[in-house]
Amino acid sequence: MYDAFPKTKVKVKGGCNGYAAIREELQAAEGNLIVIECYPTINEEEILEQLIAPLEPDLIIQASEQFYPAERIKAMIESNLTEDRIFGVISHHQFQDFIDSQQQEILQQKIQAVLASDRTVVIYGVGASLLYPADLLIYVDISRWEIQKRFQSGEYSNWQADNAGEDPLRMIKRGYFFEWRVADRLKQQLFDSIDYFLDTHQPNQPVMLEASAYFQALEQVASQPFRLVPFFDPGVWGGNWMQETFEVEQDQVNLAWSFDGVPEENSLLLTTDKIRMEIPANNLVFYQPAALLGERVYAQFGKEFPIRFNYLDTVGGGNLSLQVHPLEEYVQKTFGMSYTQDESYYIMEAKDQASLYLGVKNGTNKKELIEALQHAASTGERFPDEQYIYQRSVKKHDHYSIPAGTIHSAGADTVVLEISATPNRFTFKLWDWDRLGLDGLPRPVHLNHGEPNIVISRDQDWVEQELCNPFEMIAEQPEWKEERTGLHKTEFIETRRHTFTGKVLHQTHGSVNMLNLVEGEEAIIESIDDGFAPFVVHYGETFIIPESVKQYTIRPYGRSIGKKLMTIKAFVR
């Protein structure tokens, strides 16, 4: 019953499907200058051929003409990209930093000349809105997961890079540390000026909605439960539990990951009476931060969604890499991030002999550990993990906190619901079990980053006392019980597990709530004051409750009535 394409119904009017209808809408609008601003990795050739050329404007200008050449831009952002395959430094640039003012002036004069004779101009592409004030401004948007798929296809380049077919990890790094940051800044600056939003996720199947209706839709989403569109990805250690349980991606060799709660990368599917529109979920965070996150969380994190849920599936697969996440001071000073990736593992499934690697064995010497890891990395010989790393068995519904600085790895034949802080690239692999990636290349190991972040005092005794199944009863009634569980006291996320056979009243605790139905077939979320329509979720689905909801109830539904269900809920302390 898992819904891989969840839709969020909104009560707004307008919208049109297909290039013919979109052209008709634009032709009826007033003004001679149409500006089509594009997020990086939009298929600008499709926009030109299917939308702009049939409009027959007197002048067409691609926005890239106003920017410096690719090599100069690359030199300007060299310190952000670094030589590393995975890690860069967060950019604080604006697109304006890369404009060739002389070339821009030449283009502006051409535009002025055409407009002076009452003829029509279309400017399109990344940075189009920076070239000349628009009579009509259209924003063409795309989710980050779709961008990553396009990089992996070998058919798309980074912005102003001409690097199609390059190592996708390097392309994603350039996006994450540079161009997505710059593009998001411009997008938010344009919110008050945009007339239409255009969705081109599906080739040659565009959807357009007036900006006023688009923003009304986001306001509605920020006042009701909703789900994001999950995405799945195979990996060298991947398993088959998600394929079998959720009946998804059957054509893949395996599924290692599912990201079912990452607004930074996932999309939202909005449906009206006329259209179905896919939008980047982080637009909701940008436009409705206080209603979605809560005033306290917004003040602490700004327009960032700080909680992430995702699956790690190793059933029939192998161990995750042995890894560690950076300490907060390190991630701030080294990468320019404001907070780090603390996390926890909630065990959704565990076969016989399933295990977790967590911390080091008692008495482990850090110098000896690093030397053994370095020897394995340089020679290809096996790292003797049994000498240094603490391994313990796990079972379904266990929960393990993993604060930054703790060595860890999920073993084979487990399914983990990973509950973590949002920075999602800062995993330092220490050893990868002598294997190559699915692309046939060695998976990057980062001992240079890993070594200074390993907290060697997190040994077996400390792990057992501090990190393993930290369940604490909060309240219990005949039909339900509520437990506090994870994350560690050093982490900002709190999690609560509810076990119930009847209706449970939930509070948002002044924070956005992210939940998953970890036991049971179906549950229904209902409003206390009829503020939103009843919302049904199924086993394994992650869903979000905006802080503006304040209170809501969850109870068994459909085939689950009379049965025991469980949810796990995360919020910012």
In a domain, 292, yes or no: yes
Q: What percent of the chain has pLDDT over 70?
A: 100
Where is average pLDDT lowest: 226-230, 267-271, 336-340, 396-400?
Answer: 336-340
In a domain, 494, yes or no: yes
Rounded mean pLDDT, 83-101: 96
Rounded mean pLDDT, 313-333: 96
Could you list the beta-strand ranges (E) of 363-512. Answer: 389-393, 399-402, 408-410, 414-421, 428-431, 472-477, 480-485, 493-500, 504-507
Q: 366: domain range?
A: 257-466
In a domain, 453, yes or no: yes
Answer yes or no: do 311 and 212 share one domain: no
pLDDT higher than 90, residue 444: no
pLDDT number for residue 258? 96
Rounded mean pLDDT, 292-296: 98
- 488-511 pLDDT, tens digit each: 888 899 999 999 999 999 999 999
Where is average pLDDT lowest: 187-191, 237-241, 443-447?
Answer: 443-447
Beta bridge mates, 37: 125, 139
14, 207 in Cβ contact below 8 A? no
Q: Which two tokens stand for residue 60?
A: 């067409």
283, 382 in Cβ contact below 8 A? no
Q: Is the dihedral of CA 384, 389, 393, 397 positive or negative?
A: negative
Beta bridge mates, 313: 415
Q: What CATH number corresponds to the domain at position 193?
A: 3.40.50
Secondary structure tally for the chain: helices H, strands E = 19, 31
Rounded mean pLDDT, 178-182: 97
Answer yes or no: do 27 and 137 share one domain: yes
Answer yes or no: do 122 and 33 share one domain: yes
Answer yes or no: do 281 and 193 share one domain: no
Q: How confident is the model at residue 358 (pLDDT cuts 50, 70, 90)?
A: very high
For 13, residues 6+ apart whose C-beta sits below 8 A from its C-beta are 213, 272, 273, 274
Rounded mean pLDDT, 508-525: 98
Instruction: Note if the bond before 487 is cis, omega within 30 degrees.
Output: yes
Q: How confident is the model at residue 339 (pLDDT cuts 50, 70, 90)?
A: confident
CA dihedral defined by 119, 124, 127, 128, rounded to 10 degrees? 10
Q: Read off the DSSP letter of residue 204.
A: T
309, 228 in Cβ contact below 8 A? no
Q: Read off the DSSP letter of residue 64.
A: G
pLDDT higher than 80, residue 85: yes
Answer yes or no: do 483 and 509 share one domain: yes
Number of residues assigned to the chain: 573
pLDDT higher than 90, residue 439: no
Q: How many domains does the chain have?
A: 3
Q: Which of 431, 450, 466 is the last residue of a domain?
A: 466
Answer yes or no: do 427 and 448 share one domain: yes
Strands of the sheet containing 267-271, edge to edge, are 8-9, 267-271, 276-280
Q: How confident is the model at residue 440 (pLDDT cuts 50, 70, 90)?
A: confident
In a domain, 101, yes or no: yes
SS (H, E, C) 433-463: CCCECCCCCECCCCHHHHHHHCCCCCEHHHH
Answer yes or no: do 167 and 288 share one domain: no
Answer yes or no: do 204 and 331 share one domain: no
pLDDT number for residue 438? 78
Rounded distance between C-alpha atoms, residue 408 and residue 428, angstroms: 11
pLDDT number for residue 453? 97
Of the candidates 464, 466, 477, 482, the one whose C-alpha atom is nearest the C-alpha of residue 566 is 482
Answer yes or no: do 192 and 96 share one domain: yes
In a domain, 242, yes or no: no
Rounded distance between C-alpha atoms, residue 202 and residue 330, angstroms: 40
Answer yes or no: do 121 and 61 share one domain: yes
Answer yes or no: do 455 and 515 share one domain: no
Q: Which helix H or strand E contains 297, and what residues bound it?
A: helix 295-301
Amino acid at 326: P
CB atoms within 10 A of CB 403: 22
Q: Which two tokens stand for residue 43?
A: 């298929």
Q: Roughly how many angstroms between the first and final C-alpha of the chain, as a whole number? A: 32
Rounded mean pLDDT, 335-341: 89
109, 61 in Cβ contact below 8 A? no
pLDDT higher than 80, residue 486: no
pLDDT higher than 90, residue 572: yes
Rounded distance between C-alpha atoms, residue 272 and residue 408, angstroms: 45
Q: Which two tokens stand for residue 356?
A: 């977790």
Answer yes or no: do 209 and 267 share one domain: no
Amino acid at 205: Q
In a domain, 363, yes or no: yes
In a domain, 236, yes or no: no
Q: Which of 440, 466, 492 is the last residue of a domain?
A: 466
Task: Report CA 92 to chain centroid distance, whole Å.
Answer: 20
Task: Report CA 229 to chain centroid distance, whole Å.
Answer: 11
Q: Read off the DSSP letter of residue 319.
A: P
Helix (H, G, I), strand (E, B) or coil at 380: coil
In a domain, 240, yes or no: no
Q: What CATH number corresponds to the domain at position 510?
A: 2.60.120.10
Q: How confident is the model at residue 442 (pLDDT cuts 50, 70, 90)?
A: confident
Beta bridge mates, 442: 436
Amino acid at 71: E
Rounded distance between C-alpha atoms, residue 466 and residue 456, angstroms: 15
- The per-residue pLDDT of the chain, averaged, comes to 96
214 φ, ψ to 5°? -60, -45
334 φ, ψ to 5°? -90, -35
Q: Which of 408, 443, 466 is the last residue of a domain?
A: 466
